[in-house]
Structure 1
Amino acid sequence: MRTRTLLPAVLTAALLTIAGCGSDDGSDSGSGAADTATSKPAASQSTGGEEAPADSPAVPESLKFTGTTVDGKPFDGATLAGRPTVLWFWAPWCPKCRAQAAETAKVAKEYEGRANVVGVAGLDANDAMRDFVDQTGTGDFPHVSDEDGEVWKRFEVTEQSRYVILDKDGETVYEGVLPGGEGLSGKVAGLTG
């Protein structure tokens, strides 16, 4: 039982030590490739956990997960199926994440109904995550509270201030840093046609 309570703290400490606060160079953190065709499991959350209609697209393995939003609502990744999805991994204390907030919110509004935008908050407590959403004006799209790092691990994200972009089939088409969110709109536009 003690291991269960220590594991999230150890994971958080390790991520903080490794990650710093993301990189400013816009690179893909060591892989050298900004766009990847690899298909990491996509752990995202939808626009609030609504049930998928019976005629909805098949749910790829990457979207078969559930969670809770920072405001306490259930979230089901299956509701993201059939649309491109932006997963924005952030931490409440990260200045680079704060700098990305306005552009990410703008993209969420611009592509509403054509693409999903989901924040995946981690590396802190839910109260701090809620405060970040309130302070940055990003409450118009869902934010998953990932205090124990399950979604981060699922997508192999090791630092905050990171975007993972999935196509309509749940395949990862981009994973990396976009300082200030620059270029995010173009990447989503390319997937929505």
Structure 2
Amino acid sequence: MCARTLLPAALIAALLALTGCGTEGGADDGMVGAPSSGSSSPVQPPASSAASGDTTAGSVVPQALRFTATTVDGKPFDAKTLADKPTVLWFWAPWCPKCKAQATETAKVAADYAGKANVVGVAGLDRNDAMKNFVVDTGTGGFPQLSDEKGDIWKRFEVTEQSRYVILDKDGKTVYEGVLPGGEGLAEKVAGLVG
């Protein structure tokens, strides 16, 4: 009898956590589950080691970039191609107004830092058709947009709500994880990584 009560409650709590639309500021600006520092997060996929042997173009690929996916257009994507450059992962959902508000600034940063830093959208919490429509409606087709319907990449980076940025340095280390309302501050964070 107790399991019948606990299981639905646990599922509802998990769904509420996944469907929250982020916060506009305050204690959630910098990291998940910790007070805001406004700079970096302890959320870090395991670092790579040279002994792992996973390389691309002669360099070791960090553990954080050892995943594959499919774009919203159905094309294969290998994150190994992001190695050796700072990378912005923008986690969004097609129905999220805060995500839509971040689209213009995120696309501008992607264009301004093309060749110096990577920007990749990671869409989730909806169907691929809605994701494609969001990309068209927001003009964010100038950089890769991954369809993460199953949430595998979200889980990999411990993202529990949309409208989040995870920024990795050129070595794949997480240097920022949090909300940037309207994308404000994203350009400065990327500029600091490319020198």
Same fold (TM over 0.5): yes
Structure number, greater radius of gyration: 2
Question: Which residue of structure 1 aligns with residue 104 of structure 2?
Answer: 102
Paired letter, 1:31 = A
- Residues 71-94 of structure 1 show CA distances to partners (whole Å, capped at 9, x for unaligned) of 000000100000000000000000
- Residues 64-116 of structure 1 show CA distances to partners (whole Å, capped at 9, x for unaligned) of 11010000000001000000000000000000000000000000000000000
TM-score, normalized by length of structure 2?
A: 0.83
Question: Which residue of structure 2 aligns with residue 20 of structure 1?
Answer: 20
Paired letter, 1:146 = D
Assess if the C-alpha contact under 8 Å between 2:40 and 2:175 holds in 1. Answer: yes
Aligned counterparts of 1:77 and 1:53: Cα–Cα separation in 2:
11
Assess if the C-alpha contact under 8 Å between 1:39 and 1:171 holds in 2. Answer: no
What is the DSSP-based 3-state SS (H/G/I as helix, E as strand, rest coil) of the residue aligned with 1:88?
strand
Q: 1:14 to 1:66 in 2, by over 3 A?
A: farther
Deviation at 1:58, TM superposition (A): 1.2
TM-score, normalized by length of structure 1?
A: 0.84
Assess if the C-alpha contact under 8 Å between 1:69 and 1:75 holds in 2. Answer: yes
What is the DSSP-based 3-state SS (H/G/I as helix, E as strand, rest coil) of the residue aligned with 2:60?
coil
Assess if the C-alpha contact under 8 Å between 1:15 and 1:158 holds in 2. Answer: no
Aligned counterparts of 2:120 and 2:90: Cα–Cα separation in 1:
6
Identical-pair percentage: 67
Q: Which ranges of 4 or more aligned residues in structure 1 deviate by more than 4 Å?
A: 13-16
Paired letter, 1:185 = A
Assess if the C-alpha contact under 8 Å between 1:41 and 1:63 holds in 2. Answer: no
Aligned counterparts of 1:70 and 1:14: Cα–Cα separation in 2:
28
Question: Which residue of structure 1 aligns with residue 61 of structure 2?
Answer: 59
1:38 aligns to 2:42 (yes or no): yes
Aligned counterparts of 1:117 and 1:149: Cα–Cα separation in 2:
19
Aligned counterparts of 1:62 and 1:39: Cα–Cα separation in 2:
11
